Structure 1
Amino acid sequence: MTRTLLIALVLSCSASLAYAQSCNIQASDKKLAGAAKTSFLTKCEKDATAACDKQAADKKLAGAAKTSFTKKCVTDAVGG
């Protein structure tokens, strides 16, 4: 179990490098506010979740390792 979590942590570090900028930074750069910012962040988070799920599947992660990997990957992508 410890080995699986260690592998998940190592993989999550490499996955976070796939995103050049977090969603929050992109929203700030675009000077979005209010409903436009909320809409952008919602779409960006959905896109990040889909990409992270695909990365987890490509790495054949399952169970706690997949959950941990996906959570960290999405958090890094969103910037939260």
Structure 2
Amino acid sequence: MEYQTNSHCKHLIDLHLILVVKYRKQLLFGDMGEFVKQAVLDISDSSDFSVEEIEVDKEHIHILLIIYSLKIKALRVHKPINYVL
């Protein structure tokens, strides 16, 4: 894992994401687990992140993500807020 460098910043964003099935029902076995795994990999192909590792258990999924682009938009205030006390 290497740091990503932009014009004025340097970053490395790794996420360990755990997705849990509601009420921890054991639904992700067999073909359903493989379907979810493939869906996450397909989404990562067209996004700004990559999946380093993914493991599917019967009631949860562990995903290790690396985010490549850091896009932060500034919040603009168009009209100042006047507080009246």
- With structure 1 as the length reference, what TM-score do the two structures score? 0.41
Compare relative contact order (CA 8 Å, sep 6+) and give the higher one, 1 or 2: 1
Greater fraction of residues in strand: 2
Greater fraction of residues in helix: 1
